[in-house]
Amino acid sequence: MAPGSAIVVTHLLRALRAELGKLSSRSPLWYAVIPLAVLIPAGLNFGIAKAAQLNKIDGSGGMDTNNAAYWIIVFSTFILMTGAVTSFCGEFRDGTAELEFAVQPRRWLLPVAKLIVFGGISGVVALVTTFGIMWGYHALFPDVWGRVDVLSYDGVRLWLGTPLLTVLVVALGLGLSALLPRPGLVVMLILLWKFGVEKFVEFLQGDFGILLQRWSPFRNAEIGAGQMVTFDSPFGGALGSMLYFAAIAVGFFVIGTVRLSRGDLRGSD
C-alpha cells in the first residue's frame, strides 16, 4: 500500500473508532430509533394478521412473499435514516464538527464514517427485522403468512434487498445533511418527496402519469428491493431499478461530501 493510501486508511479507521465511541448506551439510536424501526412493522403486521384471523378485515389470499417487507420499507428505512441525519447534524449544532475539523482537516471523513457506521447498523437492523418477520410470522400465522417463503428466490431477494435500500436511504439523508445541516428540513424533504410527490403522480391520468411513476426514485428502489409494485421496471428489471436509485442516493452523498470538504463550516439551528 502506498504511503498516502496508508495515511488515509489510518485516518479513516480513527474516524470510525471515534464514531463508534459516540454511540454510548444513552444514544437515542439504541433506545428509540432501532426499537421503533423494529416494533412498528412488527406490530402492524401482527395486528393485520390477527385481524385477518378474526375476520375483522378481509384477509383472503393471505400475505405474499414479495409483499412481506412493505411496512419495513415504508417505516423502518426512514426511521433508521433519521438516526444518521440527527447524529450528523448534531455535530454542527453542538460544535463538535468544528473541533473535529480543527484536529483533522479532512472533512470528508465525517460523512464517510457516519455512513459506514450508521449505514452498517441500519442495514443489519433491516436485514434481521425483515428475515425475522418473514420467518416468525410464517410460523405464527400459517393461515395468513403460509405462502411467505423466506428461503425462496423472492424471499432471499427481499431480505437482502431491503437492507441495501436502507443503506442507500441513509446515504441520501447524509448527503442532504451535508448540504443542509438541519435534520428537520432534511427529513421533511425526503418524506415530502416519498409520500407527497410520488403519491401525487399516482393520481395523474394517462401515459404521462405512468411515465412519472416509472421514473419515481423510491418506487424503483422498492422494485430493486424485491417489493411488489404495480408496474414494470423501466430499467430492465430489479437490478436496474436499484442501480437507478443508488445513482441518485450516492450522487447526493458525493455532492454533499464534496461541498462539505470545500465549503466553509456551516452551523445548524
Report pLDDT for 60.
54
Helix or strand or coil: residue 247?
A: helix
Is residue 177 within 8 A of residue 183, CB to CB? The reply is yes
Buried/exposed 178-199: b ≥16 CB within 10 Å, e otherwise: beebbbebbbeebeeebeeebe
Domain ranges (residues) in the chain: 27-262
Report pLDDT for 219.
93
Report pLDDT for 159.
92
Is residue 263 within 8 A of residue 248, CB to CB? The reply is no
Report pLDDT for 267.
42
What is the identity of the amino acid at 147?
A: R
Report pLDDT for 268.
40
Report pLDDT for 264.
47
Is residue 204 within 8 A of residue 110, CB to CB? The reply is no
φ/ψ bin of 55: left (φ > 0), alpha (ψ from -120 to 50), beta (otherwise): left
Give pLDDT tens digits along the chain (269 positions). Answer: 556 577 778 878 888 888 888 887 788 999 999 999 999 999 999 999 988 888 755 555 678 999 999 999 999 999 999 999 999 998 888 777 666 666 666 888 989 999 999 999 999 999 999 999 999 999 999 989 999 999 999 999 999 999 999 999 999 999 999 999 899 999 999 999 999 999 999 888 888 888 888 999 999 999 999 998 777 888 989 999 999 999 999 999 999 999 988 864 444 44
Q: How many CA atoms lie within 13 A of 9 on its CB side?
A: 6
Q: How far apart are CA 154 and CA 141, in angstroms?
A: 19
User: Which H or E run contains 88?
Assistant: helix 77-93
